[in-house]
Amino acid sequence: MTTHDLPIGRRVAQLRARRRMTQQMLADRLGKSKSWVDKVERGARALDRFTVIRDLADALRVDPVALLGRDARPTAAGAAVDGVDGVRAALARYDTVLAGPGGRAAAPAGELGRRVGHAWLTYQHADYPQLLRMLPDLLGDAQRVHAGCGGHGAAELLVQAYRITSSVLVKLGEGDLGWLAADRAMSVARGDALLVAAATVPLGQALRALGRARPALAVTIAAADRIAPTVLRVGPPREPALRGTLLVQAALAAAACGDARSVRELVDRAAGLAEGVGDGPDRHWTSFGPTAVELARVATAVDLGDGGEAVARHEKVVGSGDWRRLPAEHRAAYLLDASRAYLQVGDLLAAGRVLVEADRTAPAEVRLRPVARTLIAALVRGGPTPADVAHLATAVGVA
């Protein structure tokens, strides 16, 4: 019997042993009892919730698909891993700091600004392999411009480069590396409330990806409050799109903590800001607006385990048509949440349908993200698989 043919409990035991962890150590990481781990490994307790599988995979530092017995990666995923290695190497370089005034000449700031804008568009189109190829040079040049001329404009470009880097790394399951990039953005932004707020968006995402929801909640609320207008201020709210995005990130963190009351309060606050923003572009590339807030209501309902409410809200928001104005990346990522909602209510056909739609919208969002592979694997294990879902499962290497 090969490794991927073993029962899932046996695979957990093997992977735990490879990490030189005892059952108690694994239990502590999961917040479970040693008895729970023992029952899982003996097959006495079923692992039938993908959220539990994901938590186990995080604790064991493997892709969730490995626990499901399908650890082969498709070619596209292998290419993405190579791209991540390039970004990791770029983040590990300090030659810009050490080179001093005689180092390599910096690119013109105007040209760098155009490249940063192109990187944002590449991210919004979910062309992650291309983005990963762009990022090492972009990071190096943004660091040189910042070191060479300083100023707010150079700092903003470097913060944006780190933001893009962190966001794509978190999507691809590289939470630790995403946290590093976000932390670098925070260091550059220090002293400027708006830049700090912009850098906090990926920081909150990275912290949540690493299971640190409470710190994510605290930092996103603090950043949002820091750019809130004072009582004496008159006129329109300051940077409502950025502030609203931070409140959405805080709501997602609250949902991860199981705090339904805070979720409602934070999303409602974000909705109030969205009314004055509308669905359109903004200088911080947030895609924030009324539709984004409605999508956040679906995502937080899923995280709180209320699949029924999430499904009802999903069917209403996609029926309006406004959500198609959002970037392909945002829509496809949201459809993964919708698929989770359908899985929670036991509607495997609908869960598969929206996953296929997500793949048509932005293939890399489905084919390169660990969470998507986990969803597909859950559908495959759930029973007879429709042809389009089976094709997708084969394409991502879980069939």
Question: Which contiguous run of DSSP H or E holds residue 118?
Answer: helix 109-124
Which residue in this structure is represented by tokens 């895609």?
A: 287
Which residue in this structure is represented by tokens 């062309």?
A: 127
d(CA 273, CA 120): 23
Which residue in this structure is represented by tokens 């924030």?
A: 288
Q: What is the pTM of this model?
A: 0.79
Instruction: Say if CB 84 and CB 76 are below 8 A apart.
Output: no
Provide the 8-state DSSP code for 20: T
d(CA 347, CA 329): 24
Q: Give yes or no for residue 324 having a pLDDT over 50.
A: yes
Domain residue spans in the chain?
1-71
Write the DSSP assignment of 247-277 as a string of letters: HHHHHHHHHHTT-HHHHHHHHHHHHHHHTTT
Q: At 235, is the pLDDT very low, low, confident or very high (cuts 50, 70, 90)?
A: very low
Q: Which CATH architecture has domain 1-71?
A: Orthogonal Bundle (1.10)
pLDDT on residue 97: 62
d(CA 119, CA 156): 14
pLDDT on residue 1: 44
Of the candidates 355, 360, 395, which has an alpha carbon nearest to the alpha carbon of residue 379? 355
| Angular region, 287: left φ>0, alpha ψ -120 to 50, beta rest | left
DSSP SS3 for 125 = coil
d(CA 296, CA 23): 37
Which residue in this structure is represented by tokens 């609250």?
A: 254
Query: 17-26, 172-181, 307-316 — which is least confidently predicted?
Result: 17-26
Tokens of 139: 């990071």
Instruction: Say if CB 287 and CB 125 are below 8 A apart.
Output: no
Q: What is the dihedral of CA 218, 219, 222, 223, to 10 degrees?
A: -160
Q: At 232, is the pLDDT very low, low, confident or very high (cuts 50, 70, 90)?
A: very low
228 vs 291 pLDDT, higher one: 291
d(CA 294, CA 90): 37
pLDDT in tens, 67-121: 765 444 555 565 566 789 899 999 998 876 666 545 555 667 789 999 999 999 9
Alpha carbon of residue 344 to chain centroid: 20
